[in-house]
Structure 1
């Protein structure tokens, strides 16, 4: 009897050893702290670096099961679709199905960002986050960007360390995130987490409310509905599919981030169109303004005004950069003392562009002049390169005079 037990134990040990060897030879290796930057344009499933969640669901607070068929790609945009096709039997027992897309590797300190148009409606959550999963003796670490469909004018920033949360902060966006694409990001370091919207710093955590995360995590995006969850609000399926849209996802390791943060550009506001009646000087974090039929400040008229932004711009990558102005009315842009956009004309909102070669880490003079003649007043400054997706030139790359 004892001999039989010992024989069985030996057989079990051999079987376990074989299974472990099989896993090493066949299963993909997992990287626990990837330090390689990536820019994922979301043109199609990237099976080398990402996986699509399929055939399972989260806990009782989630009203969806994940299905690969609910992740769609079309014209350079990824859509996560929430519907009730085949549910609950084909949706992991959930009432609805939706999509989730995540990196295979886990990423450490650095900057995570994405360009997103969120889903609107009570009970919905559109997200971009990191998730470490559980390791021996620990619960999950997590850093969150979440926009609830019940109020798409607000972003919720949060983090979890060893499974402990309660660090939520609500941020007023100043726009409806369901009406268009915007850039959302967070930077994570041993001493802080910083959240950004369209390049502007909107919130910082330093660990004063609880220890910051330390474990690398998968970078994930998903769309889901709550199930009886007070936080999300009640969800009622409208009878047609719901979608959240993602233009791109990007990661920059801490080693590639700038060591000094820019604060914006020096802005001089004039109450006429020829830069002679100065009303105010201030630092603008970015050039991303839509004043509509109004004026930039109460001391100025609604029409016939001008603005001059000056300072330095520091690119992250070496190569050809394209700068874009979107304005109503006129705009002129100089970079490194070269006039690359010259559209000093009355116009409805129009985008113009110019290209210049820049070197990573070097600061270049930049000057943008703008005037409004009448009616709508819009002034925006974007950039892009082979390594940099098109975005509003962010605050941390701009330096005032």
Structure 2
């Protein structure tokens, strides 16, 4: 299904020298692109600009009906808020929010606790991505809640721009009705997706497992054209909000970082 191939194109504004200076050595692996970031937990007590870059001033293409705006990204009561709002911004009549890490992360466990936005035609996404702007193939691992049905989440991955690995799995009670835990464990020979601690998808075909280190993203955006996938867009008249309480990355082989982490329970 449709996923933008331009997520990271503006991160070139962040100095490559900064990325190099922040390199954290890790054990050798078969990963095609060595990561620059190590294990962390972020509870969003503040927006750490050394970790996060806020997308601002562009859109991902004609399928996206909003412009990324830093005004739609904030922290309230220890929760990251990404908003979608009617507001003429750039080339679009709506503004929306996205953050992405300044570093790249490799094999390990990725976890986030969040509540998705409500609204047909909206996409609330937690994913990893790397691509041509970073002079790498398009690799991606996704959790996407599509506004036409917030009772399920789509998991998917791209390998060198090849997708077609979508699976829809239920989110009991609705992803937009409360906070849920989403996680994936990315290994050389296996990729596992979890929702609220339950294994919902396991991939063991090496041709369907990304190999390049990637950046971590949270984004909320809308569409006027992808109605078959995301639902017919209909603005409610009020801002829609995606809320994130926590995100964590635990590198392969390291101990779990917080009591609720799925890595505390996995073999």
Q: Point out where structure 2 has 5 or more consecutive residues left out of the alignment.
A: 1-12, 24-33
Shift of 1:26: 8.7
State the structure with bigger RCO (CA 8 A, min sep 6), 1 or 2: 2
Moved more, 171-180 or 68-77: 171-180
Q: TM-score, normalised on structure 2? A: 0.83
Q: Secondary structure, in 3 states, of the residue corresponding to 1:175?
A: coil
Cα RMSD after superposing both structures: 2.4
Once residues 178 and 115 of structure 2 are traced to their aligned partners in structure 1, the CA distance between those partners, rounded to angstroms, is: 5
Shift of 1:49: 1.2
Once residues 45 and 394 of structure 1 are traced to their aligned partners in structure 2, the CA distance between those partners, rounded to angstroms, is: 24
Contact 2:19 2:102 survives alignment (8 Å): no
1:215 aligns with 2:212: yes
1:68 aligns with 2:70: yes
Equivalent of 1:174 in 161, 172, 175: 172
Q: Summarize the Cα distance change of 1:136–1:225 in structure 2 as closer, same or farther, 3 Å threshold.
A: closer
Q: Which residue of 1 aligns with 2:153?
A: 155
Deviation by residue 1:178-232 (Cα, 9 ceiling, x = unmatched)? 1111111111111111011112211111127x43111111001000112310211
Q: Secondary structure, in 3 states, of the residue corresponding to 2:61?
A: coil
Shift of 1:398: 7.3
Q: Which residue of 2 aligns with 1:271?
A: none
Where does 1:377-388 land on structure 2 (aligned, <5 Å)? 387-388=257-258
Contact 1:36 1:253 survives alignment (8 Å): yes
Moved more, 215-224 or 168-177: 168-177
Once residues 94 and 189 of structure 1 are traced to their aligned partners in structure 2, the CA distance between those partners, rounded to angstroms, is: 39
Q: Secondary structure, in 3 states, of the residue corresponding to 2:232?
A: coil
Once residues 42 and 153 of structure 1 are traced to their aligned partners in structure 2, the CA distance between those partners, rounded to angstroms, is: 26
Shift of 1:120: 1.6
Q: TM-score, normalised on structure 1? A: 0.56
The structure with the larger Rg is 1
Q: Point out where structure 1 has 5 or more consecutive residues left out of the alignment.
A: 1-22, 258-315, 317-386
Q: Summarize the Cα distance change of 1:80–1:137 in structure 2 as closer, same or farther, 3 Å threshold.
A: closer
Shift of 1:138: 5.1
Q: Summarize the Cα distance change of 1:211–1:29 in structure 2 as closer, same or farther, 3 Å threshold.
A: same
